[in-house]
């Protein structure tokens, strides 16, 4: 014990930087953040993470191009946040808009930054925010006493838009593909249920870590009662100095059948659209060298995916390249423009940040993942999202089952009453 107590004394002494004791649980700190304080969390695959608490500055767009958003956030400071799947097409406000707090993009430059490399955890406090830091640490110390609670939901999930609407969109997609107007389109679905308004996402992410690996974890809370969280297997862009990395992640099977995934024609064709698109964009963005790996299969809990990794050097503008990459055929379709128009016209739900981007930006040092395997909490309603690629030969029953599998992780987590663990255990 002693993590909160030791750090509390250091913050009270006025230090702007505090090294927290070894073993400090950043996910536990998420659940200790007072409910009225905005925060953003992003965890890399290697276990390193950044948790931003409180506000020095917020950037929130109503509607804008992806490149304009990235240029603004890259202009100075360290940011954690996310961007809509379709930031140029933000729906008009409605009476009940679960995405109302997020806009087309929401990025936080925090008053308190807690950074962990998987071993050492440091807290950086902006001048004038010592009281907030002490408030968070007191709440953490109380949470470390160990207790259980049952966030849970009523276990009754309803499909937004209804089953017939998705079936109709699937049939329209297949007709469009047969006419040669599209090679692939990704259709998303959403399920909703009631949950406790104080659902503890740190605990849920800790629970998800036992079930998934090789993923990014994230939570964004721009205002009380509005929270977006997930665990995604897909990196869109990592930019460091002169190196730009990306991934094609497309093609899905249950992990028990993964040995056959790399040989499955439908999944391999779906994956190829994504990999070839990324390869082309990297070259078009001026890369002097592009290393394209061989496709391989990577497990993400109960599901496995085909993955191709890319590393490029000499990309002229990371921001412009990301704007060219997103949305990839993995979450939109091919060709992009007609696929995007099809989604806007026929999908029937507001994706919001689902299949958009989440991550960190500090100048040209950028880490952005695709926001998949996720849930949105709006007051007492939880919405879980999933999507699947439709290509020639797709079967409606099989695609519906895949979406059920993809959404099962968060539906189960939200309904399981994930236990908040004691650090004494």
Task: Render pLDDT for 114-139 as a digit per residue (tens, 0 to 9).
Answer: 999 878 999 999 999 989 888 888 87
Q: What's the CA gap between 198 and 418, in Å, rounded?
A: 13
Span 189-219, pLDDT tens digits:
999 998 876 678 888 888 877 666 679 999 9
- What's this model's pTM, rounded to 2 decimal places? 0.91
Segments making up each domain of the chain, as ranges = 3-143, 158-415
pLDDT of residue 153: 56
Residue ranges in the chain modelled with pLDDT below 50:
1-15, 147-150, 418-425
Q: What's the CA gap between 75 and 80, in Å, rounded?
A: 14
Residue 414, φ and ψ in degrees, nearest 5: -70, -25
Tokens encoding 91: 């729906």
pLDDT of residue 95: 63
Tokens encoding 249: 């992640």
The tokens 């036992």 sit on which residue?
A: 210
pLDDT of residue 2: 37
pLDDT of residue 166: 92
pLDDT of residue 208: 78
Q: What's the CA gap between 191 and 377, in Å, rounded?
A: 12
Q: Which residues pair with 192 in a beta bridge?
A: 158, 383
pLDDT of residue 262: 93
Interacting residues of 194 by C-beta distance below 8 A, sequence separation 6+ = 153, 154, 156, 380, 381, 382
- The closest of 390, 367, 66, 401 to 250, measured between CA atoms, is 390
pLDDT of residue 3: 43
Element (H, E) at 273: helix 265-284
The Cα-based distances of 213 to 23, 148, 220, 300, 312 in angstroms read 20, 25, 21, 6, 25
Cα distance from N-terminal residue to C-terminal residue, the chain: 11
The dotted CATH code for 158-415 is 3.60.120.10
pLDDT of residue 294: 97
Q: Which string of b and e fits 154-177 if b means at least 16 CB within 10 Å?
A: eeebeebeeeebbeebbebbbebb
């Amino acid at each position: 014990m002693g993590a909160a107590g030791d750090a509390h004394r250091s913050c009270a002494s006025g230090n702007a930087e505090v090294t927290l004791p070894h073993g400090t649980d950043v996910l536990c700190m998420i659940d200790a953040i007072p409910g009225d304080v905005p925060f953003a969390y992003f965890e890399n695959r290697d276990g390193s993470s950044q948790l931003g608490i409180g506000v020095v500055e917020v950037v929130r767009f109503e509607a804008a191009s992806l490149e304009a958003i990235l240029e603004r956030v890259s202009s100075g400071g360290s940011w954690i946040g996310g961007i809509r799947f379709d930031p140029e097409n933000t729906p008009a406000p409605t009476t009940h808009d679960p995405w109302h707090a997020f806009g087309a993009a929401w990025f936080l430059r925090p008053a308190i930054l807690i950074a962990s490399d998987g071993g050492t955890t440091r807290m950086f406090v902006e001048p004038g925010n010592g009281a907030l830091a002490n408030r968070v640490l007191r709440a953490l110390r109380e949470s470390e006493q160990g207790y259980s609670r049952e966030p849970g939901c009523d276990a009754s999930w309803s499909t937004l838009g209804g089953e017939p609407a998705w079936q109709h969109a699937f049939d329209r997609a297949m007709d469009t593909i047969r006419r040669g107007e599209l090679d692939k389109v990704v259709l998303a679905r959403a399920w909703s249920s009631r949950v406790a308004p104080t659902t503890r996402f740190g605990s849920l992410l800790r629970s998800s870590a036992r079930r998934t690996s090789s993923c990014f974890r994230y939570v964004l809370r721009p205002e009380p009662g509005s929270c977006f969280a997930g665990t995604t297997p897909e990196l869109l862009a990592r930019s460091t100095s002169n190196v730009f990395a990306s991934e094609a992640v497309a093609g899905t099977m249950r992990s028990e059948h993964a040995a056959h995934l790399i040989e499955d024609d439908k999944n391999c064709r779906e994956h190829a659209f994504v990999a070839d698109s990324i390869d082309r964009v990297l070259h078009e963005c001026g890369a002097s060298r592009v290393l394209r790996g061989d496709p391989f299969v990577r497990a993400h809990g109960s599901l496995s995916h085909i993955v191709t990794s890319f590393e490029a050097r000499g990309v002229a503008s990371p921001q412009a390249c990301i704007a060219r990459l997103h949305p990839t055929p993995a979450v939109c379709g091919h060709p992009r423009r007609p696929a995007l128009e099809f989604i806007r016209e026929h999908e029937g739900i507001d994706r919001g940040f689902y299949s958009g981007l989440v991550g960190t930006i500090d100048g040209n040092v950028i880490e952005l993942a695709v926001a998949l395997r996720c849930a949105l909490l709006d007051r007492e309603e939880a919405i879980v999202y999933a999507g699947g690629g439709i290509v020639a030969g797709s079967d409606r029953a099989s695609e519906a089952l895949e979406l059920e599998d993809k959404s099962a992780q968060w539906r189960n987590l939200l309904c399981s009453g994930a236990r908040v663990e004691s650090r004494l255990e």
